[in-house]
Amino acid sequence: MKVSIIVINWNGEDKLRRFLPEILKVKGVDEFIVTDDASSDKSVEMIERNFPEIKLVKRVQNEGFSSNANSGVKEAKGDLVFLLNPDAIPQPDCVEKSLIYFKDQEVFSIGCNTGGNWSWAKFENGFFWHYMAHGTVQTHQTLWARGGSGIFRKKVFEELGGMDEIMNPYYEEDMDLGYRAVKRGYKNLWVKECLVRLPEEKGVIEANIPKLKFSKIAERNQLIFIWKNITDPKFVWEHIFNLLKHLILHPGYFKIFFAAAVKLPAIINKRSVEVSRAKLTDREIFTKYRV
């Protein structure tokens, strides 16, 4: 299998300068790509000057994480695409240790071990809640792989339509991708021996985006996720009831609601696609992935 590493960058010049040399040490990789989302810093110039061996995808317009990731995957030649944030540092043998799991054609993605955590979810009080959990450190199925430290089978990534750009500029697009994959019958794995180190410093988005703005986008995308993916009648009515209650008790939430509602035509179209291709029910998924 050919493997492409894709670093997803936006205004990460300093992190790229510091961490690309370590990323380039990863073994078993056929090409290294940086996809840049129209950064306003000197990321592009720095890469062209210092890392000529890296393929650079230069986006003209800044749109967000999903669009940037999809652009990189489109240009990749690998059967597997390893998506990384600029400050995510895989161990040199990370890719090589993942390959055995992709022999199973049902495996869509591998979530790398960034410190013993993995992704779980529950549907409670009308909303989808996701969280990191500690428990067994054995390799096992997980609901999704992080978009900034996950390895994905390109063929299935494209079959799923990639990361949903309706969720631009950022947040929950990887969760949405993993959920759709599971619902269509694919597997996501958390693999303990595929190690990726994350620095303790703030990421680019955390450092540049006000916390309140980030929170509002996250809440908007939670609604988009539910409206697009959740089809179980009980969950749907539970969501409607609790959404109305939330709007009454918290009038400020109307702004978030309308930010999602303006996308309803696109959401409805995407929902119909997922319904037609689903192999598992929401209830089956939440039963399996709830701690």
CA 176 to mean position of chain CA atoms: 7
Whether 72 is covered by a domain: the verdict is yes
Whether 258 is covered by a domain: the verdict is no
Whether 19 is covered by a domain: the verdict is yes
pLDDT band at 229 (very low <50, low <70, confident <90, very high): very high
Residue 195 has pLDDT above 60, yes or no: yes
Question: 157: domain CATH number?
Answer: 3.90.550.10
Share of the chain above pLDDT 70, in %: 97
Question: Phi, psi (5° rounding) for residue 214?
Answer: -60, -45
Quote the pLDDT of residue 66: 98
Tell me how far apart the alpha carbons of residues 40 and 205 are, in angstroms, rounded to a whole number.
14
Residue 249 has pLDDT above 80, yes or no: yes
* pLDDT digits 0-9 by tens, 99-126: 999 999 999 999 999 987 667 788 999 9
Whether 230 is covered by a domain: the verdict is no
Contacts of residues 265-271 at CB distance under 8 Å and 24 or more positions apart, as own/partner, are: 266/166, 267/166, 267/224, 267/227, 267/228, 270/164, 270/166, 270/228, 271/227, 271/228, 271/229, 271/231
User: One-letter amino acid identity for 23?
Assistant: I
Whether 267 is covered by a domain: the verdict is no
Whether 261 is covered by a domain: the verdict is no
Instruction: Show the domain range for 160.
Output: 3-207
0.85 cut: is pTM over it?
yes
Quote the pLDDT of residue 204: 73
Beta bridge partners of 4: 31, 81
Whether 244 is covered by a domain: the verdict is no
Average model confidence (pLDDT) for the chain?
Answer: 94
Domain count of the fold of the chain: 1
Tell me how far apart the alpha carbons of residues 139 and 191 are, in angstroms, rounded to a whole number.
5
Select the more confidently predicted residue: 237 or 135: 237
Residue 77 has pLDDT above 80, yes or no: yes
Share of the chain above pLDDT 90, in %: 85
Q: How much is the average pLDDT of 24-34?
A: 99
* pLDDT digits 0-9 by tens, 273-291: 999 999 999 999 999 887 5
Whether 228 is covered by a domain: the verdict is no
